[in-house]
Amino acid sequence: MHADEPDVDTPLVRRLIAAQFPRWAGLPVERFPSSGTVNAVFRLGDTMAVRLPRTPGGADDVAMESRWLPWLAPQLPVAVPAVLGRGEPGEGYPWAWSVHRWLDGANPVAGELTAPGPLAADLAAFVAALRRADPSDGPPAYRGGPLAAVDTETRNALTELRELAVDLDLAAATAAWDSALRAPAWEGPPVWVHSDLMPGNLLIRAGRLDAVIDFGTAGVGDPACDLIAAWNLLPAGVRAEFRAGTGADDATWERGRGWALSMALIQLPYYAVTNPVIAANARHVIREVLADHARRG
């Protein structure tokens, strides 16, 4: 999915485990099909997952999760990953990697939710609980700064999508992006955010939120970025419930919609060929944001 991504396969994972975690060397290793863009994921036995970053930035996430997940976990209403082992470069693989406790569940799919109202409440409860965590000494969140920080990248994506002649209203997308940039900035104290609440980072059971994974982008900053689930997953009819549960004011909601739009615009051309799941969700998000923006007037 990325330029210069290292080759990662099952034999490599077996060698890494045997060399660095010999107590697990006899366990079966099986690649897990995933739409994730940061890590290649492998099942290790029945109870563990091996995660090997695809990029140098993903490798930096290993230390972040090792440091903060044990502290955040007891403060959150659903399960989060538990780091069981932290691997080092070796066997030709260049970066740090990790072994996590396996979490069961399925990724939700926009348009196919069986209990959207309860799921909206679950997501709001998770976001609210994360924000209550003490932000002291927390690292900066990946998307915790102002929207303007991704303006150039977003406009470059809009240009690329015009060149690809996608079947989307890019003039309306540009207007919606301009509107989001005009929203007042966050003036409150920084709060903890996950920063990447994509459907692929959520696990559900019986339609309810059961776990949230991939905390590599988490940290402290503007809470707006954790509102993206309103457009990348939840239907319009339950967004008000989600918003009420998070306590988002008008400006924060507008910035959250901007984050959802920016992420989707950037993802669509980048993953159009290499990750059809992400690309399909990006198209969904763009259409949902534009419909929402049109309703708002």
Reported as a single tens digit per residue, the pLDDT across 235-258 is 999 999 999 999 999 999 999 999
Residue with tokens 């590599």: 216
Reported as a single tens digit per residue, the pLDDT across 249-295 is 999 999 999 999 999 999 999 999 889 999 999 999 999 999 998 88
- For residues 207 and 121, is the Cβ–Cβ distance under 8 A? no
Confidence of residue 34 (pLDDT cuts 50, 70, 90): confident
Residue 241 Cα to chain centre, angstroms: 21
Amino acid at residue number 73: A
Confidence of residue 297 (pLDDT cuts 50, 70, 90): low
10-101 CATH pick, 3.30.1330.20, 3.30.200.20, 3.40.50.970, 3.30.70.2190: 3.30.200.20
d(CA 291, CA 74): 38
Q: Is the pLDDT at 53 greater than 60, yes or no?
A: yes
Q: Is the pLDDT at 35 greater than 70, yes or no?
A: no
Strand partners for 48: 44, 101
d(CA 102, CA 114): 24
Instruction: Give start-end residues of each CATH 3.90.1200.10 domain in the chain.
Output: 116-295
Query: What was the pLDDT predicted at 4?
Result: 78
Reported as a single tens digit per residue, the pLDDT across 125-181 is 999 999 999 999 999 999 999 999 999 999 999 999 999 999 999 999 999 999 999
Strand partners for 204: 106, 209
Reported as a single tens digit per residue, the pLDDT across 74-114 is 999 999 999 999 999 999 999 999 999 999 999 999 999 99
- For residues 99 and 27, is the Cβ–Cβ distance under 8 A? no
pTM for the model stands at: 0.94
Instruction: Give start-end residues of each CATH 3.30.200.20 domain in the chain.
Output: 10-101
When pLDDT is averaged across residues 195-219 and rounded to a whole number, the result is 96
The vertex-189 CA angle with 234 and 248, nearest 5°, equals 25
d(CA 267, CA 261): 10
Query: What was the pLDDT predicted at 1?
Result: 66
116-295 CATH pick, 3.40.50.970, 3.90.1200.10, 1.10.357.10, 1.10.3470.10: 3.90.1200.10
When pLDDT is averaged across residues 43-50 and rounded to a whole number, the result is 97
Query: What was the pLDDT predicted at 83?
Result: 95
